[in-house]
């Protein structure tokens, strides 16, 4: 293949192109990225949380009582906060009974690392005495222990730091009062102290680091479908997900489990800042998923009109929470949470794959106009509508064009062949209309795992996104995370269990694009010795420059089963050194790592493009 680069025809492209999509699906948040180790810490699990009405899913889920002469009940009188109505009551005749939590598939502990245990307690009757806290292995071996002072007559939270003496993958937590009587217990929590960046109420360090390593330019949160919920009562309300943990409002996660909201809006903003990514919250457009019933005989529609002013005010308040001065109502709450400086919010998504009905359009228009009037500095991202087989988004684009919405969010999960055959998808887009945020995509064959073939078809397609980086401003693969044995959706970018993080080969492609991003696109002409359609579509090149480093980055994808030897004419660009990174293997390989070598510019293309490979040559020009 002959590649001729045309630096003279350079065009500016988005500097935000590659980001991440975070949704609490597949236990991505609770039991995943959120570092809390106690499952059902608030005793708020409810039968309705669980798909299929699994009767084991109730307020005592993950808890059990051991020992004689004792009772464990759930009560609701005088809770710590009305948003968190349930608490546990332990009624025991004498010391010996233990309340035990089994964690999320066990509690994983690291030897010598400090863990922060906290709990709210209240004495209800008798003298419950001091509370013994223990971490115990399956073999009954005590791994760490501490003692909390006897509870008083009103709710009080207490904290101790305990340090395990061994590495254990599946410990349990035991609470044992030392006296006799009745004690109320709530918000039982165990966190590693070494969360990502050491944040309190923070994130699991290894998982957060793997995400940070992508170098995402933005983070979309909290979904996906989680953002708009599957009914009016299930819409994600950001105000329920900030402030003291005991006052946050947990809710049913529409993927069939329970959402504590412990990983809430403050923590999302903090994570974005910690990894240098722009926050992109997505808020329901006043309608739940597919307007939850409209057209399907349902009755829910959207938020009633007489509640829309308050709903819109909530969205405006979010901007104040993120960016407002500490003297403003919501800016003050951010400061109270420990972050007086603004979070620099610039984008808000309104809607997620919604059915573009009258109900939607009416509400979207109201929200869009209100944000535009009060916060013209915020770019609204609209939705193109449900992901469809044919990726026909006419209706979503209709309203976006009418209102001149700055960006519009498209989603598509398609087989690898679709990505190979549609590399010209955005070449045809009208540059005068809304910019595109490709908010969810994956080369996706249901039931089939991510492999080199799917990853390379994404790499190929991403060259076309760079080429169209003047119209496609942002793109995020979806979904991001999945806990092994707890998935509702496959494939995903990163799998994990309690001890190990397992990035897929698709992750390596995302990471390479994240690391080797540019903000200027240099068109190139590609001539193949075999110009058959099927061959031509399996080789792609994209050349960008990073204006900060002045490096030229040449990405080359070869999805052919044979090597390709490139002759690259950089037309006057002189480099002083280069590096070559190659990701290669067999199409069915699931976990591969790229290899990088330093080389001279003249050697940079030696060795050609191996069969089934993604090659990046980065040329230093100064
Ligand atoms: O990414 C998984 C789901 O796919 C998202 O929640 C939804 O937006 C889409 O349908």
Higher per-residue confidence, 281 vs 293: 281
- Identify the pLDDT of residue 96: 84
- The alpha carbon of 493 and the centre of ligand 1 are apart by a number of angstroms equal to 14
- Identify the pLDDT of residue 388: 61
Residue to mutate, 479, 490, 492, ligand 1, most ligand atoms under 8 Å from C-beta: 479
What's the CA gap between 49 and 245, in Å, rounded? 19
Residue to mutate, 20, 21, 224, ligand 1, most ligand atoms under 8 Å from C-beta: 224
Mean of pLDDT values over 249-277: 97
Q: Whose CA is nearest to atom 7 of ligand 1?
A: 224
Q: Whose CA is nearest to atom 5 of ligand 1?
A: 224
Show Cβ contacts of residue 134 under 8 Å, excluding neighbours closer than 6 positions: 142, 143, 144, 145, 173, 174, 176
- Identify the pLDDT of residue 298: 54
pLDDT tens-digit readout, 122-181: 999 999 999 999 999 999 999 999 999 999 999 999 999 999 999 999 999 999 999 999
- Identify the pLDDT of residue 389: 59
Please tell us whether the domain made up of 20-30+215-384+392-410+425-438+452-491 is placed in CATH 3.20.20.80. yes
Is the distance from the beta carbon of residue 282 to the nearest atom of ligand 1 less than 6 Å? no
**Where does residue 102 fall: left (phi above 0), alpha (psi -120 to 50 degrees), or beta otherwise?**
alpha
What atom in ligand 1 is closest to the CA of residue 223? 6
What atom in ligand 1 is closest to the CA of residue 226? 6
The CATH architecture annotation of domain 47-192 reads Sandwich (2.60)
Show Cβ contacts of residue 297 under 8 Å, excluding neighbours closer than 6 positions: none
Residue to mutate, 489, 490, 491, 492, ligand 1, most ligand atoms under 8 Å from C-beta: 489
Tokens of 48: 């309705």
Residue to mutate, 478, 479, 490, 506, ligand 1, most ligand atoms under 8 Å from C-beta: 478
Q: For 565, phi and psi rounded to 5 degrees?
A: -105, 115
Q: How confident is the model at residue 332 (pLDDT cuts 50, 70, 90)?
A: very high
Averaged confidence pLDDT in the chain: 95
Say whether pLDDT at 316 is over 60: yes
Say whether pLDDT at 187 is over 90: yes
- The alpha carbon of 388 and the centre of ligand 1 are apart by a number of angstroms equal to 12
Is the distance from the beta carbon of residue 410 to the nearest atom of ligand 1 less than 6 Å? no
pLDDT tens-digit readout, 386-404: 866 566 788 889 999 999 9
8-state DSSP, 193 = S
Q: Whose CA is nearest to atom 9 of ligand 1?
A: 224
Q: Whose CA is nearest to atom 3 of ligand 1?
A: 224
- The alpha carbon of 423 and the centre of ligand 1 are apart by a number of angstroms equal to 23
pTM over 0.95: yes
Show Cβ contacts of residue 428 under 8 Å, excluding neighbours closer than 6 positions: none
What's the CA gap between 424 and 430, in Å, rounded? 13
**Helix-strand-coil split of the chain, %, nearest 5:** 25, 30, 45
Is the distance from the beta carbon of residue 23 to the nearest atom of ligand 1 less than 6 Å? yes
Catalytic residue among 246, 320, 353, 361: 353
- Identify the pLDDT of residue 265: 98
Is the distance from the beta carbon of residue 456 to the nearest atom of ligand 1 less than 6 Å? no
Query: Which position has the token pair 């979010």?
Result: 318
- Identify the pLDDT of residue 367: 98
Say whether pLDDT at 89 is over 90: yes
What atom in ligand 1 is closest to the CA of residue 387? 10
Is the distance from the beta carbon of residue 36 to the nearest atom of ligand 1 less than 6 Å? no
Q: How confident is the model at residue 192 (pLDDT cuts 50, 70, 90)?
A: very high
Answer positive or negative: Cα dihedral of 567, 573, 579, 584: negative
Show Cβ contacts of residue 232 under 8 Å, excluding neighbours closer than 6 positions: 288, 292, 300, 302, 303
Please list the residues that pair with 116 across neighbouring strands. 161, 191
Active site residue 484: no
Query: Is beta strand 98-101 parallel, antiparallel or unpaired with respect to 63-66?
Result: antiparallel
Q: How confident is the model at residue 292 (pLDDT cuts 50, 70, 90)?
A: confident
546 by DSSP, 3-state: which? strand
Is the distance from the beta carbon of residue 478 to the nearest atom of ligand 1 less than 6 Å? yes
Q: Are 43 and 74 in contact (CB under 8 A)?
A: yes
Query: Which position has the token pair 């975070």?
Result: 22
Q: How many residues does the chain have?
A: 622
8-state DSSP, 247 = G
- Identify the pLDDT of residue 155: 98
Cα angle 442, 444, 446 (rounded to 5 degrees) comes to 140
Q: What is the residue extent of each domain of the chain?
A: 20-30+215-384+392-410+425-438+452-491, 47-192
8-state DSSP, 598 = E
- Identify the pLDDT of residue 293: 74
Q: How confident is the model at residue 531 (pLDDT cuts 50, 70, 90)?
A: confident
Rg of the chain over Cα atoms, rounded to whole angstroms, equals 26
């Amino acid at each position: 293949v002959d590649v001729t680069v045309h630096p003279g025809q350079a065009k500016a492209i988005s500097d935000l192109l590659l980001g991440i999509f975070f949704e609490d699906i597949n236990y991505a948040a609770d039991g995943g990225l959120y570092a809390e180790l106690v499952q059902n810490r608030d005793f708020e699990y409810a039968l309705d949380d669980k798909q299929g009405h699994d009767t084991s899913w109730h307020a005592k889920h993950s808890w059990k009582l051991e020992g004689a002469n004792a009772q464990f009940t759930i009560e609701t009188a005088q809770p710590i906060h009305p948003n968190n109505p349930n608490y546990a009551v332990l009624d025991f005749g004498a010391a010996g009974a233990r309340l035990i939590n089994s964690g999320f598939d066990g509690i994983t502990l690291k030897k010598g690392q400090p863990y922060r245990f906290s709990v709210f307690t209240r004495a209800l009757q008798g003298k419950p005495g001091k509370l013994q806290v223990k971490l115990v292995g399956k073999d009954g071996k005590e791994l760490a222990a501490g003692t909390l002072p006897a509870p008083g007559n009103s709710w009080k939270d207490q904290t101790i730091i305990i340090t395990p003496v061994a590495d254990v993958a599946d410990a349990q937590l035991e609470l044992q009062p030392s006296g006799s009587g009745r004690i109320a217990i709530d918000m039982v929590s165990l966190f590693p102290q070494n969360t990502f960046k050491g944040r309190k109420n923070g994130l699991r360090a290894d998982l957060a680091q793997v995400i940070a390593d992508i170098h995402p330019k933005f983070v979309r949160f909290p979904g996906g479908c989680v953002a708009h919920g599957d009914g009016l009562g299930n819409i994600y309300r950001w105000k329920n997900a900030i402030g003291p943990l005991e006052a946050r409002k947990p809710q049913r996660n529409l993927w069939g489990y329970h959402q504590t909201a412990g990983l809430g809006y403050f923590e999302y903003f903090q994570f974005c800042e910690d990894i240098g990514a722009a926050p992109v919250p997505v808020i329901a457009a006043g309608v739940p998923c597919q307007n939850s019933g409209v057209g399907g005989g349902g009755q829910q529609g959207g938020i009633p009109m007489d509640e829309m002013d308050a709903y819109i005010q909530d969205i405006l308040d979010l901007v104040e929470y993120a960016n407002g001065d500490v003297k403003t109502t919501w800016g003050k709450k951010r400061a109270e949470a420990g972050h007086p400086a603004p979070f620099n919010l610039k984008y808000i998504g309104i809607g997620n794959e919604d059915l573009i009905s009258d109900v939607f359009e009416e509400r979207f228009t109201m929200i869009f106009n209100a944000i535009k009037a009060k916060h013209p500095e915020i770019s609204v991202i609209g939705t193109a509508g449900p992901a469809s087989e044919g990726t026909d988004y006419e209706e979503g684009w209709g309203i976006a064009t009418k209102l001149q919405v700055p960006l519009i969010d498209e989603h598509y999960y398609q087989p690898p062949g679709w990505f190979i055959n549609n590399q010209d998808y955005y070449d045809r887009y009208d540059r005068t209309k809304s910019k595109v945020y490709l908010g969810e995509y994956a080369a996706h064959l249901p039931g089939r795992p991510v492999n080199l073939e799917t990853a390379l078809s994404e790499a190929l397609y991403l060259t076309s996104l760079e080429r169209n980086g003047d119209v496609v401003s942002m793109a995020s693969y979806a979904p991001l995370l999945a806990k092994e044995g707890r998935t509702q959706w496959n494939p995903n970018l990163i799998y994990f269990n309690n001890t190990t993080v397992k990035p897929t080969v698709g992750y390596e492609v995302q990471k390479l694009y994240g690391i080797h991003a540019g903000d200027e696109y240099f068109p190139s002409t590609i001539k193949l010795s075999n110009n058959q359609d099927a061959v031509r579509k399996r080789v792609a090149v994209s050349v960008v420059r990073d204006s900060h480093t002045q490096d030229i980055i040449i990405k080359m994808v070869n999805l052919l089963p044979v090597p390709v030897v490139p002759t690259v004419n950089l037309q006057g660009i002189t480099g002083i050194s280069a590096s070559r990174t190659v990701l290669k293997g067999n199409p069915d390989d699931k976990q591969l790592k790229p290899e990088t070598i330093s080389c001279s510019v003249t050697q940079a293309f030696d060795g050609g493009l191996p069969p089934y490979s993604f090659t990046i040559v980065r040329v230093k020009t100064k």
